[in-house]
């Protein structure tokens, strides 16, 4: 009998490296995923990639495909550092080694050049280093989630233009169930 969880892959998951938000420790997490029959798992810590090496090695040791990612903070202009500078969450997942290197570049720029309360990057940085990345609109606003369930065509039509031009077909919206 095939476990129902074998086809499920967590693509938005915070570990202990997402300070004040992540609960999962990597070793027990990998053990649970293996015991559940899942064959892949993503890491998407908030603004950082500190746990990626440990995650990658432990996944590989257990025969689980590691999906490397980050939940980033995207803003209009990383040079603007005041209270008017708003940001949104976005999940970026590497498709391969080139995508992984681009994630490292984006998070490094976010920490070195864009840090204002959080490590932020802007659309220009994202556009420059978007090769071989998949984007997911994390924490989709309620109206977008409702649009997904009602009409996919309408959703694509209303997708943020900047993301459409950067990612073309490598973009998705996160759907979550809230009580």
Q: Does the residue 159 lie in any domain? A: no
124 strand-pairing partners: none
- How many domains is the chain built from? 1
Classify the phi-psi angles of 116: left when phi > 0, otherwise alpha if psi is within -120 to 50, otherwise beta. beta
- Over residues 17-52, the pLDDT tens digits come to 998 788 899 999 999 999 999 999 999 999 999 999
pLDDT higher at 24 or 142: 24
CATH (domain of 135)? 3.20.20.140
Q: Does the residue 99 lie in any domain? A: yes
**Is it the case that residue 173 has pLDDT exceeding 90?**
no
pLDDT at 143: 40
Nearest CA-CA partner of 174 in 71, 85, 100, 60: 71
Question: What average pLDDT does range 76-100 have in this prediction?
Answer: 89
Weakest-pLDDT range from 18-22, 72-76, 152-156:
152-156
pLDDT at 134: 80
Q: Does the residue 170 lie in any domain? A: no
- Over residues 88-97, the pLDDT tens digits come to 888 899 999 9
Q: Does the residue 165 lie in any domain? A: no
pTM over 0.95: no
11's tokens: 């693509």
Question: What whole-number distance in Å separates Cα of residue 8 and Cα of residue 41?
Answer: 9
Q: Does the residue 161 lie in any domain? A: no
Mean residue pLDDT across the chain: 80
pLDDT at 39: 92
Q: Does the residue 90 lie in any domain? A: yes
Residues spanned by the domain of 39: 4-139
Q: Does the residue 151 lie in any domain? A: no
């Amino acid at each position: 009998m095939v476990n129902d969880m074998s086809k499920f892959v967590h693509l938005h998951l915070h570990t202990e490296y997402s300070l004040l938000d992540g609960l999962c420790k990597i070793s027990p997490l990998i053990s649970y995923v293996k015991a559940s029959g899942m064959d892949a798992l993503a890491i998407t810590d908030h603004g950082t990639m500190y746990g990626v090496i440990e995650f990658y090695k432990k996944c590989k040791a257990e025969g689980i495909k590691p999906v490397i990612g980050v939940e980033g903070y995207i803003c209009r202009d990383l040079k603007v550092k005041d209270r008017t500078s708003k940001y949104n969450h976005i999940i970026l997942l590497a498709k391969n080694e080139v995508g992984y290197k681009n994630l490292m570049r984006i998070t490094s720029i976010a920490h070195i050049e864009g840090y204002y309360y959080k490590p932020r990057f802007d659309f220009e940085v994202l556009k420059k280093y978007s090769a071989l990345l998949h984007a997911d609109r994390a924490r989709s606003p309620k109206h977008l989630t409702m649009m997904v369930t009602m009409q996919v065509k309408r959703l694509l039509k209303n997708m943020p233009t900047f993301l459409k031009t950067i990612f073309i077909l490598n973009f998705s919206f996160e759907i979550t169930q809230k009580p």
